[in-house]
Amino acid sequence: MMDFLSPQEWAALGLSLKVSLWATLGSLPLGVGMAWILARRQFFGHGLVNAAVHLPLVLPPVVIGYGLLVLLGRGGVLGGWLYDVFGITLVFTWKGAAIAAAVMAFPLMVRAMRLSLEAVDRGLEDAARTLGAKPIKVFVTITLPLMLPGVVTGGVLAFARALGEFGATITFVSNIPGQTRTLPLALYTLTQSPGGEAGAARLAVLAVIVAVTALMMSELLARRVKAKAEGHIHD
């Protein structure tokens, strides 16, 4: 079974899982926050913010990767500051790969979360406020539990998207084995070499298995969460 893949390929798989997991978990709170801002707040520039969130869906991934390089590279606005103050480097590291994956997956996450947030009955939130709950308490005790299915869905979609992320990643953090050579990059490498078809096919099968497993697990989880929110399961 261990021979199904070469050691480098196992490394690519492991790296992909690590990068995607961190990308998803790290952006979950941001996704919830952004979903809330877009769903519940009217302000000047709302349309602009919404468009900005969706940019990774419509722009070529390489463009996003380049943007990340400009922003977060050592010579970049934010990246330079991060290095000078905290000694943090993101280019050429798995953390940079996680950020690239997170950025590309963000619109999918926000969309799913926003949808379920908008389905939460505002009358319930009003009732909670009249019962003396401050807006934060309302959010944590009422809104969040009721939008949880959307949070789960958003998280899974983001994870799946992160697993498949290629263009922005290779442009931002390049293709360094062990650090940034995720599964899609390893797959691409094989397709670009004459005679690499068999290896590419193996990796593709693996990617499909991982994705399907993740989706199935999340489906089960989402259903359970939904039933709990609707009051059909007891604690």
Q: Which of 14, 84, 193, 201 binds another protein (CB under 8 A)?
A: 193
Asked if 99 interacts with another protein (CB under 8 A), we say no
On whether the CB atoms of residues 186 and 203 are closer than 8 A, the answer is: yes
The torsion defined by the Cα of 169, 219, 152 and 231, in degrees rounded to 10, comes to 180
The torsion defined by the Cα of 104, 105, 111 and 114, in degrees rounded to 10, comes to -120
Asked if 191 interacts with another protein (CB under 8 A), we say yes
Q: Which of 24, 27, 182, 189 binds another protein (CB under 8 A)?
A: 189
Token output for 97: 């790969």
Asked if 229 interacts with another protein (CB under 8 A), we say yes
Neighbours of 82 (CB within 10 A): 16
* Closest CB to another protein among residues 54, 74: 74
Token output for 173: 């953090």
Asked if 126 interacts with another protein (CB under 8 A), we say yes
Q: Which of 69, 109, 117, 151 binds another protein (CB under 8 A)?
A: 69
Angle, alpha carbons 104-107-112 (nearest 5°): 135
Name the residues that contact another protein, by CB under 8 A.
Answer: 62, 66, 69-70, 73-76, 91-92, 121, 123-124, 126-135, 141-142, 145-146, 167, 170-171, 174-176, 188-189, 191-194, 228-232, 234-235
